[in-house]
Amino acid sequence: MVHVIDESLKLVSAQQELVTTALGWLKAPTTLPQRANSALLLANMARTDEMCEMFISRGLVSLLLHLTQIEEPEELSGKVLVSALSALRNLCLPVSQKAGLVESGVLDAALRCLRDSKWPHVHFKCLGIARLLAPLKEVCVQLSQPGTVALVCERCSPAEPAQVKIEGSRLLAGLVKYCQSEEVMRVVISEGGVKLIASLLDSAHLSLRNEALLALNLLAVVKDDGEFKTSLTDEVVVGGVWGVVSAGDSSPELVSNALTFLVLLAEKQWTAEVREKLVMLEGLTDKLDSLTQNDSQTVSDLAKQLAKKLSLNPT
């Protein structure tokens, strides 16, 4: 037992020495590649709340923010910036640290880099930082400004890698969820955010599909409005939601959330438009018929409601 304790103390001591060395490398006059490697090392170590808290207490945030302001050579391809942002992103994971990081200027730095950098891997890290901080009310308000939402949607363009689009779409879904404000929802809709949120429905990850459905359901409960109607009844959106219903790997929770969205639309004065799009989908009546016999009472009831609204009358 004593041997085990001794070995553990040695590991802790070695880790502390490594952290001290890495923090020292972040300061000049080390080279930019050395500083980038140091930031990346610390990012990989910032995997627990305890490590994040220790890094923050030792002044890591200010060192990383300084790196985000350095004009690095073109040949580094944004390596310094993305390394610093990677570390800052991981520091945003602990709930207890989010407010302090915002006060330190982490969100402002991420938005600046999102706007100014041309590198997609930088955009990915910036969007990740914003998404992790979005649950804070003041952050949600800041991120939901029209100019910021427009920038996020721009970074989700087809020209960007898929991971950037996914991260940006998750951020938009988060803004709808955390703000729950009609004004914010209108901004997301006006900037074309609904289709981006709906794009998460194609994800292989069930949790991302659910994030999209929760946001779409919140959008669907807003009062009848022409702008909302155009976006929410779009074929991409309605078809994507129905795809979740008909997918073989969808959990009862996912199917329930997807059916809820379609029922909410049908309960508005949009039944004709929704029905027109849904009745064109292959296997609609048969699928709803089978869902009325689902083991989940919620799924069964929602399937019956939707069939009734669409005058399909499954057996």
CB 287 within 8 A of CB 295: no
* CA dist., res. 96 & res. 98, Å (int): 6
Give me the long-range contacts of 280-283 (CB less than 8 A, separation at least 24).
Answer: 281/239, 281/242, 281/246, 283/246
Instruction: Answer whether residue 310 shows pLDDT above 50.
Output: yes
Write b or e for each residue in 184-210: b if 16 or more Cβ atoms lie within 10 A of its Cβ, otherwise e: bbbbbbebebbbbbbbbbebeeeebbb
* CA dist., res. 290 & res. 276, Å (int): 21
Supply the pLDDT for residue 74. Answer: 83
Higher pLDDT, 186 or 7: 186
Supply the pLDDT for residue 197. Answer: 97
Q: How large a percentage of the chain has pLDDT more than 90? A: 64
* Chain segment 18-66, per-residue pLDDT in tens: 888 888 888 878 889 999 999 999 999 998 899 999 999 999 999 999 9
4: confidence class by pLDDT, cuts 50, 70, 90:
very low
Instruction: Answer whether residue 115 shows pLDDT above 90.
Output: yes
Supply the pLDDT for residue 2. Answer: 39
Average the pLDDT over 276-298 and give the result: 86
Supply the pLDDT for residue 270. Answer: 65
Supply the pLDDT for residue 3. Answer: 47
Three-class DSSP labels, 242-266: HHHHHCCCCCHHHHHHHHHHHHHHH
Supply the pLDDT for residue 75. Answer: 81
Supply the pLDDT for residue 271. Answer: 65
